[in-house]
Structure 1
């Protein structure tokens, strides 16, 4: 049994962080704050939760666990849809729990579903009686009727944070089978990852593993092109390499769609649907004694109202997104584009390596400032958009912020490649970005959370010693495991923390890497070999980062890579254009851009590759046959059940008017 477990094997999954007595605004230890904490603990226990209070060195923690019955009733209140043994999904009902499919480990609810239930139970504590006086730090605050207790305590500084706890038994098991398993570099326990972290993170690692496996082919091809001299056929090598590369990229993403579809079908028992629905219907009351003719008239009127409502919402939301996207695009063109071009020009003009170093240092600091401003503006703009749920808002943020990163990552390289046509400088920049940047980024990505955690831990122990006037010879008090989890970094995005989690930065790193190697493949074919080595280590370092250096993330139920899929497709189209221009630079040594037979062939090849890009997408089905058959079977069964239910309800509605007429 781990330290995170209770006396009877209960796993505590949520923690509430509270300040210790006497540490609110420098107040002395007193019983005033006890009232607040005791009220909170009492209300949590009334909800049926198992509560354990842990006194840490710097904070107090309230750990929460829930019996299966309490989670089941909360899931029924939330109307969480779960898969049944007949293959269909229905809103969960605790009385009919045996009809719903259990997970492979025997549990009834996934981590995502349990988190929703915990959130519902904690946020559901409302004052339904008279006003209660909450005391803290010699001050009094009224907990008025209808107010949420957690929100009230957060507003007055009693509740610092609510965060998920690690299950030490499962975490150590994943460390052995995933992060420390080097027997197969690309092998990953996707089902266990999904069970512990949720389907969104499992989808990311499934994509990263497949992407790394498929990368072996272009890496081998690039090594062949770089190392072997083909003699008189050397002029044909790069075009053939480029055609093979585009075909590989198109086929990879088509087969990824197939795998993602199969993965979603296999892992859908881990998914859950929350209380918020994407469908917004107009509520209309219908009397049971209306005649069928009147019901039909009302339904037609309601359809017209719903149509007008949806059209208004659709066009208004589209206009808001168009306005925000236009604002971001114009800002990039007017502000960031001149800055990026000025840096690229100065880098080309300066002759001293020391001057280039200082210029690059100033540039890196400046682009961080630009990116932060752009991210904050994007987050504010998204709040005014009509996005249906959190995933839609996250996708909108991804598109906007990627535009900023795309400009700062590639515009200087375009400048070297197309304007100055300096292939040597272009290769130097690519090597710096791919080798040096990747190494530094991975080191910082994994070392900063560890250093930050170690510093917080050291400061916590030191402050404890100062407060209690302990001698350095005394043995320090051990830090509880829950406090260790609290001191770790949260898995949050560098931009838009309230919308995106750490997957934003992980996907962004992959996208920028993919764009770098694809858009300038003809200038540096060896880059694919560097990427293979980098991604093989990325799988394990990302796993180690999640398991050892970060808090347990809040689960997300989206089963796709979202907006990143469209960004990858955009980069493939861009790579066709940029590599065609690079081939022109390589073969047109005179620089007159004349349409000689060779250059005309390159233009023809560009159009052929665009045809391959959009043609191959139709050759490989995006959905496996077994997934399509299972989906059609479920739809047919659902239609049969709905038809039976509708016929029964219609028959019952028609009996009421007849009986009413007889009585009249």
Structure 2
């Protein structure tokens, strides 16, 4: 015997030399023929076949020492090494028949409905681990399906074509041609694209739970019935250590290795950190203005109480001229900031090869349902769902979301009502026994908000599933929009109530300052300090590799990390920050200063968190921030309205109108006029600034011209 299964796996180290095709020493025909007829889990070839292969193929003996990778099914996939990319955790006591069937579907060619992947079965047939990689041809074909751009021989970025693959730079070296994040997404893409060819039952699973219908997603079904517990993109510890040193642990305070982040974590993560970095630097001008307006109020012409010759206690501390300057600057800053970010997005997406993704030509998302038909563009069989019914379902979701927003407003109204009742009861005749009643409305409102948020999260996900979106990006955008509206309304409803219903700008300033200071400190603590302590104190022992099987345990240790929660909490935090700054900065000019201090540390803490505390995320290549970009733009337009009305409600502006003989009606009309003029100016400024640099537009036109020429040449032939 060769030892325990763990020891055999340790010797193979999961990076195995593969057979090389050579014209001088061709691989035997039996090797490639056996790929079509071999058993589902070829961990132990027969001794006769093993001896023949070892004698003729250098390096194969090392592969066959333990559990081995399945071999490629075509000649173009030969490679020196097999790189472990994705770990699939199966049920603890999986039936070996089920595992063999899964492997057979994963290794089958795409033309036979398989995923065309390389599979390492772990310890043995009954183990609960699968390690996946992808051969070269699979990686190249998925690159074309995703519409990714890659460097052409002339140095330009061009949409990749499999038929013209020899004209692209470094196409023979997949470690250079595709980033680690892209190679891992290729595997995930193939898993999501794996569909049942006909109605059948999953082997080893009871028929009551394991029925697969034609074109149903196999891996989604396996996850639903508990056969697949998790699909985990594997960390490369050496690269991760180098990235961490250049990113957050090397003492570097300014700048980020964005290209390295994109290569390791993917474009979605890279776009978030690029936006966080860009936004942090953009906070410098409003922070400087806020400091000037706060430290030099006399030079700015403070509005004084005419009777007492002292500053009005109700005045938020900013003169009328300062309020106007802050409001005008906020409008200009938000517009220039977003337009400049769009241009930066275009440059980054071109550099990262995601300028024009073609998701609409790819396989539909696993949850897409409908009667079987054919895609009118690609001709592939897939579920077909009427577009009118999809839009109708999206429309029906709108009043449901509005109903929950109404429940948020109802909860806030009831909070203020019962708070006033408790306060009056205590003031009228209460004793020390009635003091706890003063805190009861706040506690009840917090509980109400948390319960409602949890309920709405489930409803939003269910609604988005019911809407039946074909593309994964469309599904994520609609789901994010629903949750975003609820969170935004929940965060800003109280501030809008204080500003425009109670019209108490002094209270608004105090509430905003407390939110900026307390909330950000709590966020930093809960997001990093607590997970770090848990990671160090409670989980450190489970992550250390065991002495007898370090390679196996390193892989399993990654599965014990919590799943990455996604970028939604990070983006919503930035959006709330942006709302504080753009909507209410004229009331509290030091907002930008506090946000700047917070974000300088936020970059490093977020980097540490994604590198150390969670599993490695695996996401699709994207060309921008998705739905978050229009969310920031819409907030910029709302800020114009908010600042105009805050100016109108300011005690200094009211006094100025009274002294100037303006009636309330005329002041209101003037505020509406100013608001419309500022919005028009914002739209003109956004139109004047191009969304992408001129050279990017030229690259697009050049690509379109080349495509037209190639098409004409095909017609002439």
| Range of TM-score over shorter length | 0.7 to 0.9
SS at match of 1:555: coil
The corresponding residue for 2:501 is 419
The corresponding residue for 1:407 is 489
**Aligned-pair distance for 1:213?**
0.4
**Aligned-pair distance for 1:340?**
1.6
The corresponding residue for 2:516 is 434
| 2:341 paired with 1:256 | yes
Q: Residues 351-430 of structure 1: matches in 2 within 5 Å?
A: 358-385=440-467, 387-430=469-512
The corresponding residue for 2:248 is 179
Distance 1:326 1:127 in 2: 37
Contact 1:438/1:534 (CA < 8 Å) preserved in 2? yes
Q: Residues 223-262 of structure 1: matches in 2 within 5 Å?
A: 223-231=291-299, 233-234=301-302, 235-262=320-347
**Aligned-pair distance for 1:117?**
3.4
SS at match of 2:617: coil
Contact 2:148/2:354 (CA < 8 Å) preserved in 1? no
The corresponding residue for 1:607 is 676
The corresponding residue for 1:445 is 527
SS at match of 1:15: strand
Contact 2:146/2:357 (CA < 8 Å) preserved in 1? no
Per-residue CA shift, 1:135-156, capped at 9, x if unaligned?
699x999999999876676566
**Aligned-pair distance for 1:374?**
1.8
**Aligned-pair distance for 1:568?**
1.4
The corresponding residue for 1:265 is 350
Aligned to 1:6, which of 11, 15, 25?
15
**Aligned-pair distance for 1:558?**
1.8
**Aligned-pair distance for 1:552?**
0.8
Contact 2:14/2:83 (CA < 8 Å) preserved in 1? yes
Distance 2:216 2:530 in 1: 40
**Aligned-pair distance for 1:531?**
0.3
Aligned to 1:487, which of 560, 568, 591?
560
Aligned to 1:528, which of 592, 596, 610?
592
Contact 1:82/1:101 (CA < 8 Å) preserved in 2? no
SS at match of 2:301: helix
Distance 2:348 2:644 in 1: 36
Q: Residues 93-492 of structure 1: matches in 2 within 5 Å?
A: 93=162, 97-102=165-170, 107-111=176-180, 113-119=182-188, 154=223, 157-185=226-254, 187-231=255-299, 233-234=301-302, 235-268=320-353, 273=358, 276=362, 282=376, 315-333=388-406, 335-344=407-416, 346=418, 358-385=440-467, 387-450=469-532, 457=539, 480-492=553-565
Per-residue CA shift, 1:263-293, capped at 9, x if unaligned?
1111116986455279x864799xxxxxxxx
* 1:636–1:136 CA distance, 2 compared to 1 (3 A): closer
Per-residue CA shift, 1:327-361, capped at 9, x if unaligned?
3124423x221212232455577669976655434
Distance 1:363 1:483 in 2: 42
SS at match of 1:160: strand
Contact 1:250/1:617 (CA < 8 Å) preserved in 2? yes
| 2:623 paired with 1:550 | no
Contact 1:4/1:167 (CA < 8 Å) preserved in 2? no
The corresponding residue for 2:307 is none
| 2:118 paired with 1:49 | yes
The corresponding residue for 1:582 is 646
Contact 1:164/1:553 (CA < 8 Å) preserved in 2? yes
Per-residue CA shift, 1:623-643, capped at 9, x if unaligned?
101101111111111111112
Higher relative contact order (CA 8 A, sep 6+): 1
Per-residue CA shift, 1:370-402, capped at 9, x if unaligned?
122222222222233363411112221222222
Contact 1:15/1:163 (CA < 8 Å) preserved in 2? yes
Contact 1:199/1:271 (CA < 8 Å) preserved in 2? no
SS at match of 1:523: coil
Deviates more, 1:339-348 or 1:425-434: 339-348
Distance 2:666 2:220 in 1: 72
Contact 1:199/1:557 (CA < 8 Å) preserved in 2? yes
Distance 1:15 1:221 in 2: 51
Aligned to 2:708, which of 631, 639, 650?
639
Distance 1:159 1:284 in 2: 31
SS at match of 1:383: helix
**Aligned-pair distance for 1:609?**
1.8
Deviates more, 1:630-639 or 1:411-420: 411-420
Contact 1:194/1:202 (CA < 8 Å) preserved in 2? yes
Contact 2:354/2:621 (CA < 8 Å) preserved in 1? no
**Aligned-pair distance for 1:172?**
0.9
* 1:19–1:377 CA distance, 2 compared to 1 (3 A): closer
Contact 1:208/1:539 (CA < 8 Å) preserved in 2? yes
Per-residue CA shift, 1:123-177, capped at 9, x if unaligned?
7889999x9995699x999999999876676566443222211111211111011
Cα root mean square deviation, aligned: 4.3
* 1:541–1:588 CA distance, 2 compared to 1 (3 A): same
SS at match of 1:480: helix
Distance 2:506 2:119 in 1: 65
SS at match of 2:232: strand
* 1:431–1:34 CA distance, 2 compared to 1 (3 A): same
Per-residue CA shift, 1:189-217, capped at 9, x if unaligned?
11111111111111111111111101011
Distance 1:128 1:577 in 2: 56
| 2:630 paired with 1:621 | no
Q: Residues 71-86 of structure 1: matches in 2 within 5 Å?
A: 71-72=139-140, 82-83=149-150, 84-85=152-153
**Aligned-pair distance for 1:551?**
0.7
Distance 1:217 1:192 in 2: 29
**Aligned-pair distance for 1:11?**
3.3
The corresponding residue for 2:27 is none
Aligned length: 584
Deviates more, 1:547-556 or 1:317-326: 317-326
Distance 1:133 1:402 in 2: 39
**Aligned-pair distance for 1:420?**
2.1
Per-residue CA shift, 1:235-275, capped at 9, x if unaligned?
21111121112111111111111111111111116986455
Contact 2:84/2:133 (CA < 8 Å) preserved in 1? yes
Contact 2:357/2:622 (CA < 8 Å) preserved in 1? no
Distance 2:195 2:642 in 1: 59
Per-residue CA shift, 1:578-606, capped at 9, x if unaligned?
22222222226689994388776655433
SS at match of 2:176: coil
Distance 1:132 1:582 in 2: 64
Contact 1:11/1:167 (CA < 8 Å) preserved in 2? no
Gap regions ≥5 residues in structure 1: 25-32, 286-309, 465-473, 493-501, 649-664
Aligned to 1:571, which of 625, 629, 635?
635
Aligned to 2:87, which of 15, 19, 28?
15
* 1:356–1:582 CA distance, 2 compared to 1 (3 A): farther
Gap regions ≥5 residues in structure 2: 1-9, 18-80, 109-115, 303-319, 365-373, 427-434
- After TM superposition, the score normalised by the length of structure 2 is 0.71
